[in-house]
Each structure stands twice: as structure tokens, then as C-alpha cells.
Amino acid sequence: MNHQLRAFIDDLRTTHGKNLVSVILYGSAATSDHQHRHSDYNILIVLEKIGPEDLRNSHAAVREWTKLGHHVPVYFTVNEVEHAADVFPIEFRQMKRARKVLFGRDLLADVEISHENLRHQVEFELRSKLIMLRRQYIPASVSVNDLASLMADSLVSFTALFRGVLMLKSIEPPADRRGTLALTVEKLGLNGQPFEKIIIIRENNFETSMTETEANQLFADYLEQIERVIDAVDTMET
């Protein structure tokens, strides 16, 4: 893996030259206890300026990186790193908490995350996903399989936001989904059974023996817990 990272950085230096300011590995792969098979190698690339030509030029380097099974890196300018934390507090918080500078300066060191901005983004994202979930439920409500898939897929997105909820309560969220869900249920006094049932559906490759009535009741219970999380975030003091 170190060889892959070094080769990728060499490609980036060749591609961007002096415009390349920093390359930062963030997320679980940047921690000492990471396991290669279970971790994503998330890369933040910071340039002094970013134009269409800079992005086009990066095609060859990024293509080789993604061929290895990794995500396309995130590109920011120096100015964006210094001033965008107010609109992306969740993302910057995750970058700051687990990172390793592979090249250049540690631009994240001086980034400050506002608690109010974090609360605002968490609530906005939760409410947006809730609205989308309601819309998607309408066509899915008559099919057990479609409804099981909707709940299983949406829970992944909500769990990611639950990490932000735990951050708001000054709690370091666990790296795994089950741990995050369990801790959110505990700290907010939720009913964790709907989440557990949906996790089992996902682990069984979306196969379920539920009847249509049971599937719709599970969705109702699931929706109620999501709404309770949103209410909790809405009333949090900042």
C-alpha cells in the first residue's frame, strides 16, 4: 500500500507541479488500527488553484489510482480549505480527526469547526434525507422487496449522519455502523429494534420473509425513530 501511495503522489507531483500544495490521507486508513480490507483510502488533494485544465491533466493519475479500487480523490483549493468548514463541518471534522499528511503542508491543522455550523448541517442533511425517504416510500410501499431495499440503503446514509449527531454531544463516534447506531440509540433514548431489523435485512442481501403488512409497519417504526433523532438535533443547545 505504501508503494501505491508513493506512486500516486509521484504522479500528482508530475501532473500538478508547483500548483500541488498538499496531499492528505484521511479516514480509517489514516489510523493506526486500520485494516486494509475494511478501510477506504480517502485522499484530499489541495491545489493553489483549480481550473478545468488542472482537472483534465489529473485524469491519468486518478485513473491509475481508481484502477486499484480506490475512490476518486477530493480536490480543494487552499482558499476552500481555509474558508469552507462553515458549510462542510461534518466532512472537515472527519478529515481532522483522522488524517496523515502524505505530501506538503497540513492545511487542516488550523481549520476550526463551529458547533453551530455542525448542528445546522446535521439537521439540514437529516431533514433532506427524511423528505427524500418519504417520496421514495410511495412507489416502494406496495413491494416488500423494494421496501426492504429502501430501508436498508437509506439506513447507511442516516448512520453516517448519526456520527454527526454524536459529535454534537461531544462523543467520538465508533467507526462501524452497528456501534454508531447502538450509541445513538443509547444517548438519544431511541427504540433500536427497527434499526437492528433493517441491518439484518442488509446483511441477508435484502432477502426477507416479511409480509407486506410487516414491511410497512417496520418502515413506520423506522420513520418514527428518524423523526425523533431530528427533533433531538433541532432542540440541541449550541
Banded model confidence at residue 38, pLDDT cuts 50, 70, 90: very low
Nearest residue to 215 via CA among 231, 201, 232, 229: 201
Co-location of 149 and 77 in the same domain: no
Co-location of 145 and 97 in the same domain: no
Co-location of 72 and 148 in the same domain: no
Residue 110 lies in a domain: no
Say what the pLDDT of residue 63 is. 95
The yes-or-no verdict on residue 201 having pLDDT over 60 is: yes
Euclidean distance between CA atoms 150 and 156, whole angstroms: 10
Euclidean distance between CA atoms 80 and 65, whole angstroms: 24
The yes-or-no verdict on residue 17 having pLDDT over 70 is: yes
The DSSP element (H or E) to which 104 belongs, if any, is: strand 99-104
Co-location of 76 and 187 in the same domain: no
The yes-or-no verdict on residue 84 having pLDDT over 50 is: yes
Say what the pLDDT of residue 204 is. 86
**What is the mean pLDDT of the segment spanning 215-225?**
96
Residue 187 lies in a domain: yes
The DSSP element (H or E) to which 47 belongs, if any, is: strand 42-47
Co-location of 183 and 163 in the same domain: yes
Encoded amino acid at 85, one letter? A
Co-location of 122 and 210 in the same domain: yes
Mean predicted lDDT score pLDDT of the chain: 91
Residue 221 lies in a domain: yes
The yes-or-no verdict on residue 20 having pLDDT over 90 is: yes
Say what the pLDDT of residue 34 is. 46
Co-location of 61 and 130 in the same domain: no
Its domain, for residue 212, covers 115-234
Banded model confidence at residue 30, pLDDT cuts 50, 70, 90: confident
Number of domains in the chain: 2
Co-location of 61 and 133 in the same domain: no
Co-location of 89 and 131 in the same domain: no
Indicate the residue among 73, 104, 135 that finishes a domain: 104
Residue 43 lies in a domain: yes
Task: For residue 43, report the phi and psi dihedrals to the nearest 5 degrees.
Answer: -120, 130
**What is the mean pLDDT of the segment spanning 64-71?**
92
Indicate the residue among 57, 82, 104 that finishes a domain: 104
Residue 59 lies in a domain: yes
Contact (Cβ atoms closer than 8 angstroms) between residue 205 and residue 215: no
Contact (Cβ atoms closer than 8 angstroms) between residue 155 and residue 195: yes
Percent of the chain with pLDDT over 90: 72
Euclidean distance between CA atoms 26 and 5, whole angstroms: 13
Say what the pLDDT of residue 50 is. 97
Residue 22 lies in a domain: yes
pLDDT in tens, 106-141: 999 989 888 899 999 999 999 999 999 999 999 999
Contact (Cβ atoms closer than 8 angstroms) between residue 231 and residue 171: no
The yes-or-no verdict on residue 39 having pLDDT over 90 is: no
Q: How far is CA 29 from the centre of its chain?
A: 14
Residues comprising the chain, all counted: 238
pLDDT in tens, 145-193: 999 999 999 999 999 899 999 999 989 888 788 899 999 999 999 999 9
Say what the pLDDT of residue 238 is. 57
Ranges 3-7, 35-39, 175-179: which has the least confidence: 35-39
Indicate the residue among 104, 132, 160 that finishes a domain: 104
**210-221: burial string, b at 16+ Cβ within 10 Å, e else:** beeeebbebbee
The yes-or-no verdict on residue 94 having pLDDT over 50 is: yes
Co-location of 43 and 81 in the same domain: yes
Co-location of 220 and 126 in the same domain: yes
**What is the mean pLDDT of the segment spanning 197-226?**
91
Co-location of 100 and 139 in the same domain: no
Residue 77 lies in a domain: yes
**Beta strands at 20-26 and 99-104: parallel, antiparallel or unpaired:** antiparallel
Say what the pLDDT of residue 96 is. 85
Ranges 32-36, 113-117, 213-217: which has the least confidence: 32-36
Residue 109 lies in a domain: no
Contact (Cβ atoms closer than 8 angstroms) between residue 162 and residue 125: no
